[in-house]
A and B are shown apart, each in its own frame.
Chain A
């Protein structure tokens, strides 16, 4: 956020967009630096698509300001933005061949036929679609359709590329490939990408910067590490990180520097709780909990079930009437089975403490 304004490709400033009585975007603000792969992350119907459509010019916000490359485009028509978009449904022109799909944006821009042909060859090669140029979209596989959609968006060399859940309609294996593909294209073209996704893994693996959305506004913006290590509130803490952070109700200790949790008291590292704070939520990441060997002391628990995922196993544990998830390496999990007793521990410094009411992070 310290960048010069000249380096900002897109800036949304308190954008509000209502559809009738429904508020889709509520004081939405963020900045995207030029050349970044910026992820807008949040569950479905949180306003991601509306955000992208607003940047593209398909929606006009009622309030707020939209700047693209430093110019005010809030109420401007679509033309002149030099923004292109890939839709979740791909939105290929079904009556046109792949070649004609590629040519469409160039034709609309008045590009010469020779230039169009050259650029189609170029993009077809980059996306390995050369053998498909004369096919209609419906005859292509999902992955090919996706690549055509990307190609059609990139062929006119936009300043900003908007990707609206581009991988949601693909099967799992293909998603991995396309994630790599999109990252490669991002590097190759060096353009600014705003990428909307409800998928946490996608957000973390693709995003150089991520805006976490909730009910039409941004809760927190940051790098994947920042969001993981210092979530601003409970919402972000539970959205980022898989499996989800364990969250347990707790009370503030009478001394203000410790916490009474169902399975013990923990010291607070560094900070003191503001006076009057009573109800708390504490969060601990499943990967921050370790299972003790028999000799070590720790919190007693009982295994509910195991979810082996290959390298790691997620252990579902009952401890002091709470349900926790613990991530352990496959080798450690071998000795465990549903019903068996175990003892576990964690570093109190790794605890996240939230205000129970506002959900804000307190440490």
Chain B
């Protein structure tokens, strides 16, 4: 019985994702399609706008049929700041690198530290384990706006303002609480018998962790990584105050693009946003099978 349940779960999560109309039937599939379209429309709108000229972008009623142009994408990286001037490097190549580097490093660090912590909380509970976990979570309960001034001051004193290491440390700290919580729940789901079997088979605790436990929570690692990445990737407020000219991330740079002599350049902003979406979409796509398993893990009683 447990076998068939497991199999249908694997089917649902692993395979049906790509299989078009499944058991749901056309009616429901169509309904899901409509809902998806409503949610996806703003993204579509941004992508379309990225290919429009300034005039097309402002046209009312909005144009869905237009001659696409790549000029916005060129302007992202290089443009003239006033009419007739020579095109200049906008620095966006660096900002994209900064975003990738900062988000990637901090998510990686949070996963590395958080996974170890989560395993500890799950397998070697302390007296008052739940209290510690709760305290870890409370660090995310304060609104960012409340903590930003003290953090800003601390960063200035510590000389971390405007440095990679400063913002990476901060984002790592951001990602840690939910990384610990999520990974703990994944470790909690594992059968302790399997680990004991490995111990009897001659494994040290370290090898039990790396050879037996970690491979079993791959889906959890993927899901946690994607959540952390999206959170960090889109973060604006702290990046605005704590990054410098050289360490600026794309959201901050994007905000500073607003304005200029011809008003808001919607096409340009949409082009930046479109480029900005690509890495997240690529990562999510690569991890999607793991991700689906990861987010539904634990919701099905095994």
Query: Which A residues are within 8 Å of any B CB, using their own CB?
Result: 53, 56-58, 78-79, 83-85, 87-89, 91-95, 104-105, 108-109, 138, 141-142, 152, 156
Contact = CB atoms under 8 A, between A and B. Distances in A.
B129 to A, nearest CB: 15
* Interface of A: prevailing SS: loop
Nearest to B216: A95
B212 interface: yes
Given A58-B199, A85-B197, 11 more contacts: A88-B193, A89-B191, A92-B197, A94-B194, A94-B216, A105-B202, A138-B3, A138-B6, A142-B3, A152-B197, A152-B201
A89 B193 contact: yes
Given A87-B193, A89-B191, A95 B200 contact: no
B287 interface: no
B125 to A, nearest CB: 13
Contacts of A95: 215-216, 218
Scoring A88, A94, A142, A152 by chain B CB atoms within 10 A of each residue's CB, the highest score goes to A94
24 contacts: A56-B196, A58-B196, A58-B199, A79-B202, A84-B200, A84-B201, A85-B196, A85-B200, A87-B193, A91-B194, A91-B197, A92-B194, A93-B194, A93-B197, A93-B198, A93-B212, A95-B218, A104-B201, A105-B201, A108-B198, A108-B203, A108-B207, A109-B202, A152-B201
Contacts of B201: 84, 104-105, 108, 152, 156
A91 B198 CA distance: 9
Q: Which are the 3 A-B pairs with shortest beta-carbon distances? A: A108-B202, A91-B193, A105-B201
A53 B193 CA distance: 11
Contact of A83 (B6, B200, B207): B200
Contacts, number: 57
A117 B136 CA distance: 47
Nearest to A140: B3
B294 to A, nearest CB: 14
A91 B203 CA distance: 15
Report the contact-size class of chain B (Cβ under 8 Å from the partner).
10 to 19
A278 B180 CA distance: 66
Main secondary structure of the interface of B (DSSP, over half): helix
Contacts of B10: 138
B6 to A, nearest CB: 6
Most chain A CB neighbours (cut-off 10 Å) among B3, B196, B201, B218? B201
Interface in B209-262: 212, 215-216, 218
Contacts of B200: 56-58, 78, 83-85
Contacts of B198: 93, 104, 108
Nearest to A149: B197
B289 to A, nearest CB: 15
B300 to A, nearest CB: 14
A108 B193 CA distance: 18
Contacts of B199: 58, 78
Nearest to A169: B2
Q: Which of B10, B202, B207 has the most CB of A within 10 A?
A: B202
A109 to B, nearest CB: 6
Nearest to B199: A78
A272 B13 CA distance: 73
A359 B196 CA distance: 39
B202 A87 contact: no
Contacts of B191: 89, 91
Contacts of B202: 78-79, 105, 108-109
Contacts of A56: 196, 200
A62 B200 CA distance: 21
Nearest to A84: B200
Contacts of B218: 95
A159 to B, nearest CB: 13
Interface string B176-201: 00000000000000010110111111
A109 B203 CA distance: 9
Contacts of B215: 95
A87 B203 contact: no
A104 B10 CA distance: 25
Contacts of A57: 200
A95 B221 CA distance: 15
Given A104-B201, A152-B201, A91 B216 contact: no
A162 to B, nearest CB: 9
Contacts of B194: 91-94
Contact of B196 (A87, A105, A109, A138): A87
A21 to B, nearest CB: 16
B100 to A, nearest CB: 30
Contacts of A138: 3, 6, 10
A58 B196 CA distance: 7
Nearest to B9: A138
A53 B197 CA distance: 11
